[in-house]
Amino acid sequence: MSKKEPKLKFNAAWELAPAPEDTKHISIKKQYDLFINGEFVKPNSKKYFATYNPATEEKIAEVADADERDVDKAVKAARVAFNSWSKLSGAERGKYIYRIARLMQERAREFAVIETMDGGKPIRESRDIDVPLAANHFFYYAGWADKLEYAFPNRNPKPLGVAGQIIPWNFPLLMAAWKIAPALAAGNTVVLKPAETTPLTALKLAELIRDSGLPKGVVNIITGAGKTGAAIVNHPDINKIAFTGSTDVGKLIQKSIAGSNKKLTLELGGKAANIIFEDAPLDQAVEGIINGIFFNQGHVCCAGSRLFIQESVADVVIRKLKDRMETLRVGDPMDKNTDVGAINSKEQLMKISEYIKIGKNEGAEMYQSSCSIPKKGYFCKPTLFLNTSQSHRIVQEEIFGPVLAIQTFRTIEEVIEKANNIPYGLSAGVWTDKGSKIFNLTTKLRAGVVWANTYNKFDPTSPFGGYKESGFGREGGLHGLAAYLEL
């Protein structure tokens, strides 16, 4: 080995060892520290905050509250690690990332259970969607690590440096994977902060990363609330901020880094139009509407929260929709037959309830499924509003809950105009039998993602991101990799 080669090496012990993960055992500690420079350390303030199970209102664990000094420590560790990590060959980096992906698969059950306990989403979704997709992001980007020159020919790809990554509470593990995997593949190091109400799977990921033998300081995971996020954003030695969250906080971040050299990607809110034409396969479309708005209790940035139905089929679609809503099982997220789990927090439930009141006061007609909801925990019945119009707040503003606003339309021109007449531009859905209509609409809808005859489908190979107040930059695919490279 020449003197110039970095010292990072695989630890032979874990390369040879079988992975004896006891996947039946779910281990949650009473208290979690900050993951900085490869180990768990106490927060400078010695302060901890509680994270709760929103389905039972019970405290699950205490989590460290990081302040500016902790952020500084994490950034310093990431800076030191960057020197060697960025010089490691892409093939070596790829091996580490594959290792993370495989360990995630081995511990999938533990991740799924903890995700559901901490955030309230149905176990069926954590198990079948969040965790496998998160692992797939690591697999996918691991494959690019040694092919950057081929991915971006003649563009001399170089990592940016230390990436500060801030994620929301709706897909905690998946958002961590979306952020960490491309950053590492490109040769960056990371300081990531999960949301205050859902820190546990990111901390489990920290344990996994420690066990994977990833060199110290390459990934640092620190917990806290908004103040901790702001400290990351404002740290002078960060090269890139990747933020997923609300449009309001996104705007704040954009202001606070203006004039600095930091690169920025923002994945913000949405209010997607899901458009059903009279020639659509209606039963399939109804499934798509249900999935579009009730998946993850509607805590989905790309949720199909505005439904546009062509007038001639409005009555039949609404009848089918109401019938289908009656069959949804709302309740215990740990029950594998549950369709709609708990609202993520008391605050979010209050926000959604407020919007339901606003909808009624605006004169829209409300319909809720007749299901009963548990006495304890934060739950909301699947809800839809009929007779809404473009000026209603429930049509214009992101509710981030299981609440659908329905309008009807006659012509394509009319629905395109209405779909686009909104501050957001993250996603949309189109349901029709005609390919030509799909192509016509996908070019005219100002939305980063347009699904045709399906909804809420995600894949690591396809870029995701918005227009207008839904943010800028893309995650996923090569676009997502480019966002972590100097080209």
Residue 51, contacted partner among Mg ion, ligand NAP, none, CB below 5-8 A by kind: Mg ion
Q: Is 120 in the site for ligand NAP (CB under 6 A)?
A: no
What Rg do the C-alpha atoms of the chain give, in angstroms? 23
Catalytic option among 196, 267, 398, 475: 267
18 or 236: CB nearest ligand NAP:
236
Q: Which of 138, 169, 277, 378 binds ligand NAP (CB under 6 A)?
A: 169
Instruction: Mark residues 356-395: x for contact with Mg ion by CB under 5 A, - for none.
Output: ----------------------------------------
Q: Which of 129, 253, 280, 343 binds ligand NAP (CB under 6 A)?
A: 253
Q: How far is the CB of 303 from ligand NAP (least distance, A)?
A: 8
Three-state SS for 174? helix
Distance CA 47, CA 63 (A): 8
Q: Which of 85, 400, 409, 451 binds ligand NAP (CB under 6 A)?
A: 400
Q: How far is CA 252 from CA 255, 335, 392, in A?
A: 5, 39, 26
Residue 272, contacted partner among Mg ion, ligand NAP, none, CB below 5-8 A by kind: none
269 or 341: CB nearest ligand NAP:
269
Q: Which of 195, 395, 403, 441 binds ligand NAP (CB under 6 A)?
A: 195
Query: How many residues in the shown chain lie near Mg ion by CB under 5 A?
Result: 4
Instruction: Mark residues 220-249: x for contact with ligand NAP by CB under 6 A, - for none.
Output: -----xx--xx--x----------xxx--x
Residue 400, contacted partner among Mg ion, ligand NAP, none, CB below 5-8 A by kind: ligand NAP
Interaction residues for Mg ion, span 184-243 (CB under 5 A):
197
Q: Please, what is the angle between helix 90-106 and helix 108-119, to 10°?
A: 70
Q: How far is the CB of 408 from ligand NAP (least distance, A)?
A: 26
| Cβ neighbour number for residue 200 with a 10 Å cutoff | 25
Whether 301 is catalytic is yes
Is 436 buried (19+), middle (13-18) or exposed (0-12) by CB count in 10 A?
exposed
Q: Which of 118, 207, 332, 398 binds Mg ion (CB under 5 A)?
A: 118
266 contacts 167 by C-beta, under 8 angstroms: no
Q: Which of 37, 51, 116, 296 binds Mg ion (CB under 5 A)?
A: 51
Q: Is 168 in the site for ligand NAP (CB under 6 A)?
A: yes
Residue 151, contacted partner among ligand NAP, Mg ion, none, CB below 5-8 A by kind: none
Closest by Cα among 268, 263, 131, 148 to 204: 131
Q: What angle do CA 159, 162, 167 make, to 5 degrees?
A: 110
Q: Is 297 in the site for Mg ion (CB under 5 A)?
A: no
CA 387 to centroid of chain Cα atoms: 31
Structure tokens of 160? Answer: 């940016």
Q: How far is the CB of 122 from Mg ion (least distance, A)?
A: 15
Q: How far is CA 2 from CA 5, 7, 116, 254, 353, in A?
A: 6, 10, 48, 43, 64
Q: Where are the alpha helices (DSSP H) in 43-153?
A: 68-85, 90-106, 108-119, 123-125, 131-144, 148-151
Q: How far is CA 35 from CA 16, 78, 170, 207, 441, in A?
A: 26, 11, 22, 8, 46
Region for 209 from its dihedrals, namely left if φ exceeds 0, alpha if ψ lies in -120 to 50, beta otherwise: alpha
Structure tokens of 52? Answer: 């709760």
Q: Which of 38, 90, 270, 460 binds ligand NAP (CB under 6 A)?
A: 270
Distance CA 375, CA 87 (A): 56
76 or 193: CB nearest ligand NAP:
193
Q: Is 196 in the site for ligand NAP (CB under 6 A)?
A: yes
61 or 441: CB nearest Mg ion:
61
Three-state SS for 109? helix
Whether 106 is catalytic is no
Interaction residues for ligand NAP, span 359-398 (CB under 6 A):
398
Distance CA 407, CA 400 (A): 19
Q: Is 52 in the site for ligand NAP (CB under 6 A)?
A: no
DSSP letter, residue 480? H
Residue 398, contacted partner among ligand NAP, Mg ion, none, CB below 5-8 A by kind: ligand NAP
Interaction residues for ligand NAP, span 289-308 (CB under 6 A):
301
Q: Where are the alpha helices (DSSP H) in 193-246?
A: 200-212, 226-234
Span of 9-17, 268-276, 365-373, 404-412 interacting with ligand NAP by CB under 6 A: 268-276
Segment (H or E) for 60: strand 58-64
15 or 347: CB nearest ligand NAP:
347
Side chain identity, residue 124: R
Residue 230, contacted partner among ligand NAP, Mg ion, none, CB below 5-8 A by kind: ligand NAP
- Would you tell me which residues interact with ligand NAP (CB under 6 A)? 166-170, 193, 195-196, 225-226, 229-230, 233, 244-246, 249, 252-253, 267-270, 301, 398, 400, 426, 466, 470-471
Residues making contact with Mg ion (CB under 5 A): 51-52, 118, 197
Which of the residues are catalytic? 267, 301
